[in-house]
Amino acid sequence: MLIMTDVLVLGAGYAGLRACKQLAKSKLDLNITLVNKNSYNYDATALETVAAGATAPENIMMDIADVTSNKVHFIQDEVEVINRNQNSVVLKNSKQELKYDYLFNALGFEPETFGTPGADEYALQISNIDNAVADYETVVKHLETYQKTGNKDYLSMVVVGGGLTSAELLGELVHQIPKWARKYGFDKADFQLTCIGPNLLSMFDEKQRAYAQRYLEKHGVKFILGQNVKSVSDTGVIYGDNNHNLPARTVFWTAGVSGSHVIEKSGYPEHRDRVAVNDDMTSPTNANEYIIGDVAAVKDQSTGRFYPPTGQIAIQEANIAVANLKAKLTHSKPVPFTYRSLGTVCSLGPTTGIAYDLLGFPIKLTGILVPTIKNLIFKRSAFELSGLKAALQR
């Protein structure tokens, strides 16, 4: 009698879907189960376009049933807790307990507000389709309120943070403001868009950072750098050592992310809900658990620092994790994780951006080609996740 190995994959983001695809192709005798909160996958790198109203949500979504193998059994539910000593996962809605021989934990990320008062309650966050859609609905509501009342506080918007998501959101917003001005009847100069954070795009060199800042300033963004937001309310933010008050009805929080809260709840050794994994992508405490994607902290051996979580690295982590499960089951030598970057790309709206280290070469680009390159990288990632249909969808 053939004995099948039960493999449970948690999360259908970049890492989870790639793991499912590679497991289904592995020719191993596996029962593969995928658990995800929603029935769809989405391009997390494009959520800011939905939040700004530049893209319809369906344009960045894919039905899981359409992009997974029939060898994968899909369960739509949330994970309540992982009972790691019992090799089981309890689901939140159905209360079902799923047993596994091997676990691929790819639970994804959540916004991190660092305990800032009011941030969770009043700030708009960009971490999934639902809140990105709700963000844009809030923006529209505030613009409509301005149109009815003439209260210019509703034309004041703050973006908290200075990383890739912050800059890309700013780029989308400045592209939308002229359209909003025509529709809701205000002068573009009356719209105040402010970015507050410790720095801007620190992963880029000085020349490219300066280009991004100049471009955004030219299109109306005011930067307050070297400062932190201390609190958020429904009328604005308090920032800086002198507790400056900046009135704003719309505040986007893009200042950081952490891994899923299920990580801490399930007793993993973690920092900000990310687990420092072994070089074969296994948990440091449980050899039958592979931790990949936004809940994994992978060290760059050349610098001693952890790689930032990205879609690119998540796909490569999934590849190595599946390869090492196959090595384990076939008594072969495991493969250590090495990362080959396709480049770091920041689009500043649909017409310009900055990029470096494209395809592993020391190439730096600035200007109109960058958004196209970002889309090509997405299409390659989509193909690796789910094949040609997914790559052609967007």
Q: Express each pLDDT in 248-273 by its tens digit.
A: 999 999 998 999 999 999 999 999 99
Q: What is the pLDDT of residue 388?
A: 61
Q: What percent of the chain has pLDDT over 70?
A: 97
d(CA 353, CA 169): 12
CB contact burial 156-175 (16+ within 10 A = b; e otherwise): bbbbbbbbbbbbbbbbbbbb
Q: What is the pLDDT of residue 378?
A: 74
65 half-sphere exposure, CB direction, 13 A CA radius: 4
Query: Amino acid letter at 301?
Result: Q
Q: What is the pLDDT of residue 1?
A: 46
The answer to pTM > 0.85 is yes
- Residue position matching structure tokens 């939905």: 50
Structure tokens at 141: 């509501």
168 is catalytic: yes
d(CA 146, CA 186): 9
Q: What is the pLDDT of residue 386?
A: 64
Q: What is the pLDDT of residue 358?
A: 83
Average pLDDT, the chain: 94
Q: Which residues of the chain have pLDDT under 70?
A: 1-2, 386-394
Residue 295 near residue 13 (C-beta atoms within 8 A): no
Q: What is the pLDDT of residue 225?
A: 98
Please name which of 141, 144, 174 lies closest in space to residue 159, comparing C-alpha atoms. Answer: 174
Please name which of 334, 299, 337 lies closest in space to residue 315, comparing C-alpha atoms. Answer: 337
CATH code, residues 119-253: 3.50.50.60
Q: What is the pLDDT of residue 233?
A: 98
Q: What is the pLDDT of residue 373?
A: 86
d(CA 271, CA 199): 23
Structure tokens at 338: 């090495």
5-37+77-111+257-338 is classed CATH 3.50.50.60: yes
Where does the chain hold its CATH 3.50.50.60 domain(s)?
5-37+77-111+257-338, 119-253
Catalytic residue among 80, 110, 112, 168: 168
Q: What is the pLDDT of residue 361?
A: 81
